[in-house]
Structure 1
């Protein structure tokens, strides 16, 4: 089970991964520097990824994923 304070909801649209909202600055529909092919490797635990939000340049370490949420190693700020 993914802890909600460490989770980030995401969507895949037109072969791009989007966060529904940036947890740091609050911008909606933020494109993430991930490919849809990266999600299964996160789900399997074979890989950890560091991403930088393009809207506010905050960095997050992703450690796991499911079909709706990405899991960070730390609690994410909510705006």
Structure 2
């Protein structure tokens, strides 16, 4: 089971994924630079790496569901 401290909510608008607020620099809203192929892999539990465009912090997505990304490091 994944720890809730390692999760962050996201919104999907068409094919784009947004964070309401960056977990690192708190900029709002942030378009996440992730391809559909990487999203599909994350839904299957394959680790995916993203770099936040606002502050260049790195997140390794361990899993993804319809509401949250689950990262290897704590985001909260």
- Class of the TM-score when normalised by the shorter of the 2 chains: 0.7 to 0.9
| Equivalent residue number for residue 39 of structure 1 | 39
Any residues of structure 2 matched to 1:45-64 within 5 Å, and which? 45=45, 47-64=46-63
Give aligned pairs, total.
Answer: 76
Q: Which has the higher strand share?
A: 1
Moved over 4 A (4+): none
Let me know the Cα RMSD of the aligned residues. Answer: 1.6
| Residues 20-79 of structure 1: per-residue CA shift (max 9 Å, x gap) | 21000111110111134432321212x211111000110111110111000100101x4x
Q: 5+ residue gaps in structure 2?
A: none
Q: 5+ residue gaps in structure 1?
A: none
Any residues of structure 2 matched to 1:1-79 within 5 Å, and which? 1-45=1-45, 47-76=46-75, 78=76
SS in 1 for 2:26: coil
SS in 1 for 2:41: helix
